[in-house]
Each structure stands twice: as C-alpha cells, then as structure tokens.
Amino acid sequence: MSGPTPYARPFPHPSGAVAPVIDAQKLPRHVAVVMDGNGRWANQRGLPRTKGHEAGEAALLDVVAGAIEVGVTHLSAYAFSTENWKRSPDEVRFLMGFNRDVIRRRRDQLHEWGVRMRWVGRRPRLWGSVIKELETAQELTRHNTGLTLYFCVNYGGRAEIGDAVGRLARDVAAGRLKASSVDERTVARYLPEPDMPDVDLFVRSSGEQRTSNFLLWQSAYAEMVFQNRLWPDYDRRDLWAAVQEYVDRERRYGGAVDAPTAGP
C-alpha cells in the first residue's frame, strides 16, 4: 500500500461543500477551462474590466482546489490567447502584468498542493518577465506528482498546430523524417506538450458556446459543457457540476450503439 500523500490538502470551500464521490474510471482525466466573463462581470458592477480579471484569480484557485478534491489529474486554463493582443493596449499591459503576478503569488501554494505547473504558449511578444515567472514555476514544481496545471499564456490552437507542422516540415526537408510516415501520431509528437492527454471535458463559463481556438487538436473528442456563470462568480461547485454532467453522458468516439429491439 502506498503511504499518505506528502502534499497539503487544498483549503475547503467556505460553504462546506465537498466533492462528489465518482468512480476514478469515469472521471475526466483532462479538463480544459475557458475562463470567460470577467469583463461583463465588471461592467455589470460599473467597474473597469481589469477589476473583473482581478476577481477571477480567486475563482481559478478555487477551481484548482476542486479539481484536486474530485480527482481530476490534468487541468488546462486559458489565461491569455494569441487573439488577446487585439485588445486595447492598456488592457494588454494589465493582463501581462497580472498573469506574471498571479503566477508569482500562487506558485508556492500550488507547489504545496503538489501541482505540477506547465506553460503552454508562444514566446514571441510575451513579456520577458512573464516568461521568467512561468519558467520559475515550472522548475519549482517539475517533480510534483499531483494535478498537472497547464497555464496557457499567449496560446492559440491554430498557432500551435501551425508551429508543429512547420517543425515537422523542416525535419522532412532535412531528411530526418519520411513524408510517407507522417500521420496524426507524428503531428502530435511535434506539439509543444506531446505528453498532454486529450481533453475529456471542455468547460466554458459565462454562457458563450464556442471553443475560441483553445486546444483544438487535443479536444477532438471532448465533451463540451457551457455554463452561464460569469468567471469571477465561478467556483469548484460549478466544476463539479460539469464533471457530473460529463459522467452522465455516453461517450462513443465515433461509434454507435443500437438500442435494444423490442421482443415479439
């Protein structure tokens, strides 16, 4: 028998709510989360959009705690997309500094929980100070064996696939790879995180029903759950509800199951 985990338990939810008990074989292994609705949350309160982003920090931490409690092993958080550069310069500057500071503020706590942090995203245009904090967090937590948290900063699904295909094409041109041997498994090996498991459950807050270019390759067979709560109001109970909906669905992966026929 294995001994007790060396990691600290996440803080309990203030309401006293506890995670549902779900068979580990039925749990989603990898949950991807689009943290949407920060701006609308702030606008509804007459606040600057940046206040919504600030309020969303606690929601993310609570969701990480809830993922650990329910038994999810991989969690991806969409923190800054390649399309977010189109926002106003003031908001982009805020988001760069905010992401940097969140990682710095929370990495020790996540480390205590046994979280292994991984950065997924492009280097170009990203602030050097943000990259430094992401890499420091990765190094600090690289030996942890609890939840893996993919912090997706300057990330885009199409960009990720395009970059992977570019690297693959260069290897074919250099003779290191035969074009005739390229298949989907080959492409997957060229992704920046080739060991990332496929997304089982794709969750988006705020009521919007689109993927917004997040983990396109990995989400080919993901179950989609769209929830109406704005991200700053979101917490682990919403995550658990999404997980329960996932568990209650029938996954077929392109197959089909005939309904039983009635007897004579």
84 flagged as catalytic = yes
End-to-end Cα, the chain, rounded Å: 53
Tell me the average pLDDT across 13-34. 97
- Summarised one tens digit per residue, pLDDT across range 132-189 is 999 999 999 999 999 999 999 999 999 999 999 999 999 999 999 999 999 999 999 9
At residue 2, the pLDDT reads: 52
On average, the pLDDT of the chain sits at 94
Write out pLDDT tens, residues 59-73.
999 999 999 999 999
Residue 225 near residue 244 (C-beta atoms within 8 A): no
The residue-averaged pLDDT of 232-258 equals 87
pLDDT tier, 1 (very low <50, low <70, confident <90, very high otherwise):
very low
Single pTM value for the model: 0.92
Buried/exposed code over 230-262 (b: 16+ C-beta within 10 A; e: otherwise): bbbebbbbbbbebbeebeeeeeeeeeeeeeeee
Separation of alpha carbons 181 and 217, rounded Å = 19
C-alpha count within 13 angstroms, C-beta hemisphere, residue 163: 15
251 or 49, higher pLDDT: 49
Provide the H-helix boundaries in the chain: 38-44, 49-70, 89-112, 128-141, 157-173, 184-189, 236-248
In this structure, which amino acid lies at residue 261?
T
Confidence grade of residue 115 (pLDDT, cut at 50, 70, 90)? very high
pLDDT above 90 for 76? yes
Instruction: From the candidates 84, 198, 213, 233, give the one annotated as an active-site residue.
Output: 84
- The reply to whether 233 belongs to the active site is no
State residue 94's pLDDT score.
Answer: 96
pLDDT of residue 5: 66
Q: What pLDDT score was predicted for residue 259?
A: 59
Burial of 124 (0-12, 13-18, 19+ CB in 10 A): exposed
| pLDDT above 50 for 120 | yes
Q: CA 100, 53, 112: angle at the middle one, nearest 5? A: 50
The residue annotated as part of the active site, out of 36, 200, 235, 238, is 36
- Report residue 6's pLDDT band, with 50, 70 and 90 as the boundaries: confident
